Amino acid sequence: MFYKALKWPVISLAIAAVAHQIIVIILPALKPIFSPSTVGPFIWVPLGMVVGYRIVQFGGKYVHVILAGLIPGLVPWIAKIIFGSIGGAGAAEIVNESVFAMGIIFFGALIGGSFALSK
C-alpha cells in the first residue's frame, strides 16, 4: 500500500526538489521567488493531498495517512542538506525550510486522507 501510493509522488518531489536547489545555486537572485512560502501551496500541499488520498484508495486507515504524510517530507530535508550546503545555506535555514516543507506536505496528506475517508 505504501509503495504504490508513495512511489510516483516521491519520485516527482525528488526531481522538483533537486531542480529547485540547482536553479537557486545557478541563479541566486531567484531565491526569494522560490522560497518555501511560495512553493509550498503550489507543490507540497497538492502532493500531500495526493499521497493521503491514494493511501486510503489502497486500503489504508487514518493512521496510515499520518505515516504516509511524513515520508515524502524527508525528500526536502535530503535535497536541502545536500544542495543547500553546496549553495551556502546555513544550518538554521536548512532546518527551518525543511521543517516547513515537511509540515506542509503532512497537512496536505491529512486533507487528502480525510477527504477520501469521508466518502
- What's the pLDDT tens digit per position in 47-83? 999 999 999 999 999 999 999 999 998 988 888 888 7
- Rounded to the nearest angstrom, the gap between the alpha carbon of residue 52 and the centroid of all alpha carbons in its chain is 12
Name the helix (H) or strand (E) containing 33.
none
Specify the residue for cell string 545557478. Answer: 26
| pLDDT band for position 109 (cuts 50, 70, 90) | very high
Q: Burial-class residue 46 by CB neighbours within 10 Å (0-12, 13-18, 19+).
A: middle
Vertex 91 angle, CA 66 and 77, to 5°: 30
Please count the other Cβ atoms lying within 10 Å of the Cβ belonging to residue 33: 11
Q: What pLDDT score does 67 carry? A: 94
C-alpha distances in angstroms, 39 versus 4, 20, 52, 63, 114?
25, 10, 19, 27, 23
| pLDDT band for position 114 (cuts 50, 70, 90) | very high
CA 16 to CA 79: how far, in whole Å?
10
